[in-house]
Structure formats: C-alpha cells, structure tokens
Amino acid sequence: MTAAYDVVVVGSGSAGSTAAIAAARHGASVLLVEKLPFLGGTSTAVLDTFYGFYTPGSEAKKVVGGIADEVVAGLRRLGEVVERPNTYGAGTGVTYLAEHLKVVWEDLVTGSGAKVLLHAFVQDVEVSGGRVTGLVVATKAGLRRIEAKVVVDASGDADVCHFAGFGYELAGELAPAQTLTTTFRMTNVDVARRRQIAKDELHALMREAAESGEYDLPRREGSDHITPIGDMTATVMTRVEHVTRTDDGRIVNATDPEVLTRAEMEGRRQVLEYVRFLKDKVPGYEQAELVAMSTGIGLRETRRVYGDHRVTREEVLSATQFDDQIGLCGAPIEDHHGSTAGDGTGTTWVYLPDGQAVGIPLRSLVVRDSVNTLVAGRCFSATHDAHASIRSMAQCMAMGHAAGVAAALAVEKGGEVRDVAPGLVQDRLRADGAILEL
C-alpha cells in the first residue's frame, strides 16, 4: 500500500511536531510519522521543562517565539505552567505537565491539517540520486510505503539519513558522547522541607552516600525540581554511558539495539537506587514515593547529520550571526559526559557572552548529501560542542518551525530544498512570530 504526501516528517518531538504544524499551515499536505503512541518525543516521554526560550545571565531576553509560544499557551489553557530559574544557569525554564503536552501537540498538529500516524516506525528509505523517494514504515498492519516530495528527518537519531546512506557523525566518534538519563518523578514530597537544603548540599549528600559504599550513584551532581503538582518533584539524576569502541575500531552507541536495551534496564535500575538515596538521606523525601519513570531513557545525542553548514563551538561562543539564520540560541554549552575522575562529576557549562545569542543557520538544516531532505532538532548539523548548546527544546521548536516552512516552500520548487531562498523562509518565519535576531 502506498500513500503520497508533499511533506513527510519523521519523528514528532519538539522539532518534528513543530515542523509538521508549520509545513501544513504553509500549504503542504503533511504526514507526521511517530513510533511512540503519542506525540512529543523527549518533551513528553522524558522531560517536563522547556529551556532555551530565554538567554541566561543578568537579563533574560526572549529568543524563541512563533509556534513555540502557541505550545506554551496551549499548556497554560490546560493547567498551571511554572516559570523557574535554572539552578545551573541555563536561563528561565518553563515547567509543564507532560500529560497535558501530549494533548497540546495533538491539537496543534491536527488543527494545522497535518495527518498523524502513531505506532509507525520508519525502518527503511528508498533513495535515487540523493532524493528520498519513499519511506518504508512498519505498522501493526504490516509494512506501508509512503512517498514524499520533501522529507524532514526529525527522528532525533537521524534514522532517515542513516537508512538513506547520507553522511552523519556518530556521537562518540570525534568527541566524548553525552551520557543518557532515565528521569523519574516522586510524589508526597515535603517541598518546603526539601527547599531547606541548597544544590551544593544535595550534591554533598550524594557524594557522602556514594563514598559510604551503601549506594551506587554514578552521578553525584544531578538535580530535582518542582512541578505544577504541589507535592511532586521531577529529577535529572541518573547517568548511563553508552559508547564503546569495538576491537576493529568501530564506535557503537545507543543507536545499537543491544546497547539501547541494556541502557534502558540500567537506567531503571539506577532510578530505584536514587529513590532509595532520596528517601533515606534528603530532607523532604522521607515519605515520598516513586510515581513514574520516563517512558524510555533520554538520549542527548546519537547521530548528527552533515549539513551544508556545521555549527561550531567557536561560532556558538562568539554568538555568530548568519545571513540565513532562522532562529537564535543563548543557552550555554551544557555537556553531560562521564566522570573521568570516577568521582561522579563530569557535567560542564561554558557560556556565551552575557545577553547574546548565536544564530542557527538554515544551511545547518539542509542535509549535505540530499536534494529533498531537511533535518531538524537534536540530529541537526553541528559539532559535539555546538550541539551541546543548541539542543534545548525551544531551539528544537525553532528549527522545526523553519524546516516546516522551508519544506512547504520547497514543494513549490519540485522538492528541491536548495532552490528555496533563505530570505523567503525568514520573511515567513517573522510573519509567524519567530524571533530571528535580538
């Protein structure tokens, strides 16, 4: 069975859902394909806080708007949304209830006219002369073939580019890869009591507990935070390494099914250990209970595609502006790597100049080896360091917005993404409320 659309978006995370909304609103027939039973990817399956909307530092400047603002407005209509300062200095976070966000994404995507296929795994790609001509999707009813004039790879893991044979860097190949995290939530927390100890004291308790030999806590600098539900907290605490080098020198990371399977189980094992630590040692958690683990382990980086431009560390730290920029990012380079000292540390933050933001060029969304494929979200074209800054969900939404607009415009050009004038994409984005310059 074959279906045909102007634009097919693979993956419905912050980038893919936004891309589908934008492409449909700009006139394309759109299908959004998602392997999970709900939309949102990491934004609903793992997390509950958008970072990247604002610059960190002395004055919070808003750097992302457009469809991303509609997402937050949709969340506010359903319940409380908490704006809170990031204790590590990544700027103001927007904390929501993930269950609400699942419905907000559905309303916005279906409201745009885009079609959705859930429980649908893109498992192969047909390519001819750099053009993706068809996608093979595994469904409960068997394999389906879907044709597209333009494809947006928003799978996070660059699955489309991988199956198509387009070039990418495997995380771990050129720089240490960011680690994985299974998040969890606890209720019945005495939040007022928990507030009596600061971040440094929490980390000291983690160190003490780990050094006592009674608790196995690989990361001793993780965080917990309040949520819209009064006595519920959410955490980013566990740490799972996923990169190994085989005897013949190949890098294997969490895109390998066996590695991913082991990582999922190790993540859940660690959750129970951190829960035990919190209840035993941290004020406010004495009566708390575990209510949820993330649907799957959180993947920070796995594959980063080679695009027409590759954003670098130097460009991020000097807040470079590009003629073809489609969004902004003021977030620091936040790198969660394993502890080389074996002491549970290993997360680093490197800041842009205060109040500044780097541009995200449209060329970093154009897949180098393809004529009709765009990429958006955490698999976009950037080095390890640049990616560690431009991966927050607000930036993923900005990239998705731009990729969707560019994809719809490319349909009018016979699917050739490079025939779309960046200025036209920028004009459409500004008209949609996106922020392209400070």
Which residue among 35, 194, 304, 337 contacts ligand FAD (CB under 6 A)?
35
Which helix (H) or strand (E) is 209 found in, with range?
Answer: helix 199-211
Using the minimum distance from each CB to ligand FAD, give the nearer residue, 33 or 435.
33
429 interacts with ligand FAD by CB under 6 A: no
The single-letter code of the amino acid at 438 is L
Compute the least distance from the CB of residue 44 to ligand FAD, in Å.
Answer: 8
Q: Which residues contact 428 (CB under 8 A, 6 or more apart)?
A: 26, 405, 409
381 interacts with ligand FAD by CB under 6 A: no
Q: Which residues contact 248 (CB under 8 A, 6 or more apart)?
A: none
Rounded to whole angstroms, the Cα distance separating 345 from 337 reads 9
Contact 398, 328 (CB under 8 A): yes
Number of residues counted as binding ligand FAD (CB under 6 A): 39
> Would you tell me the crossing angle of helices 14-25 and 98-112 to the nearest 10 degrees?
20
Which residue among 154, 326, 329, 410 contacts ligand FAD (CB under 6 A)?
154
Which residue among 6, 9, 12, 254 contacts ligand FAD (CB under 6 A)?
12
Tokens of 154: 């928003």
Compute the least distance from the CB of residue 215 to ligand FAD, in Å.
Answer: 21
Using the minimum distance from each CB to ligand FAD, give the nearer residue, 11 or 361.
11
**Per-residue contact flags (x/-) with ligand FAD for residues 197 to 236, judged by CB under 6 A:** ---------------------------------------x
Using the minimum distance from each CB to ligand FAD, give the nearer residue, 51 or 285.
51
Using the minimum distance from each CB to ligand FAD, give the nearer residue, 84 or 195.
84
181 interacts with ligand FAD by CB under 6 A: yes
Query: How many other CB atoms are there within 10 angstroms of residue 424's CB atom?
Result: 12
Which residue among 16, 222, 307, 330 contacts ligand FAD (CB under 6 A)?
16
> By CB under 6 A, what part of segment 50-69 binds ligand FAD?
50-52
Using the minimum distance from each CB to ligand FAD, give the nearer residue, 256 or 412.
256
Contact 152, 14 (CB under 8 A): no
Using the minimum distance from each CB to ligand FAD, give the nearer residue, 68 or 317.
68
36 interacts with ligand FAD by CB under 6 A: yes
Rounded to whole angstroms, the Cα distance separating 152 from 170 reads 19
8 interacts with ligand FAD by CB under 6 A: no
Which residue among 5, 9, 14, 66 contacts ligand FAD (CB under 6 A)?
14
Which residue among 26, 100, 239, 391 contacts ligand FAD (CB under 6 A)?
391
Which residue among 26, 300, 303, 304 contacts ligand FAD (CB under 6 A)?
300
Rounded to whole angstroms, the Cα distance separating 46 from 133 reads 32
| DSSP assignment letter at 362 | G
The single-letter code of the amino acid at 370 is S
**Per-residue contact flags (x/-) with ligand FAD for residues 233 to 252, judged by CB under 6 A:** ---x----------------
Stretch touching ligand FAD by CB under 6 A, among 197-205, 253-261, 315-323, 391-399: 391-399
Best CA proximity match to 95, nearest among 186, 223, 227? 227
Contact 407, 28 (CB under 8 A): yes
401 interacts with ligand FAD by CB under 6 A: no
| DSSP assignment letter at 120 | -
- The residues of the shown chain that bind ligand FAD, judged by CB under 6 A, are 10-16, 33-36, 41-43, 46-47, 49-52, 121-122, 154-157, 159, 181, 183, 236, 298-300, 377-378, 391-393, 396
